[in-house]
Amino acid sequence: MAAGEGRRLRPLTERHPKAVLPIDGRPVIATVLRELQDAGAGRITVVTGHLAEQVEQLLDGFPHELRFVRQPEVLGSADAVRRAALEPPYLVVAADTVFTPGDIARFLAATRGHDGAIAVRRRPPPGPGRWAVRVEHGLITKLPDDDPSSPLSGAPLWLHGEAVWRELQGELPGPPFEQATALQRAIAAGARIAGVEIGPTRDLTDPLDLLEENFGYLRGL
């Protein structure tokens, strides 16, 4: 998913989509795609929207089978996934987050035998833009979790199986239309949605982050 406007990163995202901004000197979306390659991904569908041409031009010639779909309006993550028109099971990942190397592959390995899965992390913790998730005995039981002491936040890495896909095709409240609603409905219907803990993730939330997340790279120049 690379369609977001990145409103909290303005004015940077008035000229550049969030997915092409760098962490460690490399566009975030390029890092995510290489992690997906290492995890053995097949064809990858990239959903673009805000300043879509920049994302598509950046990835022109990327050594993997890519397909582009545009989301004409910012209507939420569920709408983005619907437009991708995928057959379950499939992996959904945001193109604006850098994961600990190898975590995408480890996440996939841990999801076998489940109806779906959500990656959870302790860093960064729940906060603005990061909803808390309740995990009990390895399964997601509530999202978002309203317990203020919850240490786990949902990471933008999901697996949708048949049960989640069916809920996603139904009527969801919105806009915005969100994956979390479909996942919670699947849980309520008895689906087993794994909560897979991964390592820390890195994201660009406000303009200062762009400098901080590239300090190491800049010092090495």
- CATH number of the structural domain spanning residue 140: 3.90.550.10
The pLDDT tens digits of the residues spanning 27-81 come to 999 999 999 999 999 999 999 999 999 999 999 988 889 999 999 988 999 999 9
Range of the domain at 43: 7-202
Would 66 be classed as within a structural domain?
yes
Would 221 be classed as within a structural domain?
no
Q: How many CA atoms lie within 13 A of 90 on its CB side?
A: 15
The pLDDT tens digits of the residues spanning 166-208 come to 999 999 998 899 999 999 999 999 999 999 999 999 998 889 9
Please state the domain count of the chain. Answer: 1
Would 208 be classed as within a structural domain?
no
Decide if pLDDT at 219 tops 80: no
For Cα atoms 61, 205, 28, give the angle at the middle one, nearest 5 degrees: 15
SS3 196: strand
CA 15 to centroid of chain Cα atoms:
22
Decide if pLDDT at 221 tops 70: no
Q: Which two tokens stand for residue 45?
A: 């569908």
Check residue 147 and give its pLDDT: 87
pLDDT band at 217 (very low <50, low <70, confident <90, very high): confident
Would 97 be classed as within a structural domain?
yes
**Residues 147, 132 contacting (CB under 8 angstroms):** yes
Which residue bears the tokens 């975030």? 28
